[in-house]
Amino acid sequence: MCALVALVAASLTATQAVAHPGNSCDPEPGHGDPGCHVEPTAPASNLSPSDTVIPPSAPRTVGDPNAAQMFADRSNCLSCHGNPAIINLLTKKRPDGSLVVLYVDVVGSSNSVHRYKDCTSCHGERPHDTTSPLSKLSLSQKCGSCHEYEYQQHMSSVHGVPLQQGNSDPATCTDCHSKTQDPHNVVRVLDPTSSTYPKNIAETCARCHNDPRLMDKYGIVEKVYTSYMRSFHGKAIKLAPKNSPLAQLDTATCASCHGAHNVTAVNDPSAPVAGMDNLLNTCRTCHRDAGPEFVSGFMGHRAVNSDFLPQVYWGSKSFRVFSQAMLGGGLLIVATSLSLRVGSWARRKIRHRSGKEG
């Protein structure tokens, strides 16, 4: 009761406040009480333009039974980090210049797989006293404190090795497991809305592998997403209903052939798609009776042209012309038949009307 009275009194007497240096909403060491722990200051009219003004932080509304359940927030972190009024202030820069938004969308993250874990489980008991580079590598290291096996695979993968060398381009955990690259709204893998659900995996990989700027930077000329979606596997995924159960998605995705956390460069001899022997073993995980001839015509993700596999290129061109000619001829026959029938009917109607008038 005393705490409630104190909370109400604080909300009634709250004044504008200026943030401590180093963080737009930086609590004092040993934070834990509601609010941003900022010092009262003069009214806004007396502040210099360089000062950052933060509106008083409102207490959480715990009385609403319909409110979204978002994390076990023992330290009331969301009183600031879940307050949309100060979303523009809750921003940090990574070393590579990209922005990290420290705002947590409570409603949008209500389906997070981690929603029942306390904020301090990932951020520590004194997060504002901890220095973090806010890099993709530090994020993967934090995820690896629980997901150890996946972390070890990722660190030795074609994505993880460059991250350890200071390259921030390759994917880290949230690039694949969150549609908005936000660690607070990671959805469980078997949820149909998850970015790692089989129906959505190709689109998730395409965030990077269908980005011309990024692919040109590394000399990757293959249009991997386009070629996959043209394949039998891609068409089966595309035509499956949006919320298809796993039983209806029994077809290969990117992860089926390249791996998930342990993706290996295609020119690595140990890669599951490197060489006909490895490729055959990979195909046999689904096509158990496949033989060497099954993979002998494998073209990878390269687009055929007059130089690369010209027989396939010209065969495809010929089939397209033949199909269009057949379709056009069929439409011409139908149109001719309809015009003859309609013309005959119209002439009979005209003669019948002329006879009545005579």
Spatial contact of 11 and 58, defined as CB atoms under 8 Å apart: yes
Greater model confidence, 332 or 111: 332
Please give the mean pLDDT across all residues of the chain.
79
Per the listing, tokens 């921003």 go with 91
- % of the chain surpassing 90 pLDDT: 41
CA diameter of the chain: 107
What pTM was computed for the model?
0.68
Lowest-confidence range among 7-21, 58-72, 79-93, 275-289? 7-21
Which among 142, 77, 68 has a CA at the least distance from the CA of 110? 68
pLDDT band at 14 (very low <50, low <70, confident <90, very high): very low
Lowest-confidence range among 41-55, 89-103, 172-186, 220-234? 41-55
Greater model confidence, 315 or 31: 315
Spatial contact of 282 and 272, defined as CB atoms under 8 Å apart: yes
On the question of pLDDT at 43 being above 60, the answer is no
pLDDT of residue 327: 94
Torsion angle defined by CA atoms of residues 67, 69, 72 and 76, in that order, rounded to the nearest 10 degrees: -30
Render pLDDT for 201-225 as a digit per residue (tens, 0 to 9). Answer: 999 999 999 999 999 999 988 889 9
pLDDT of residue 127: 87
Torsion angle defined by CA atoms of residues 259, 261, 265 and 268, in that order, rounded to the nearest 10 degrees: -80
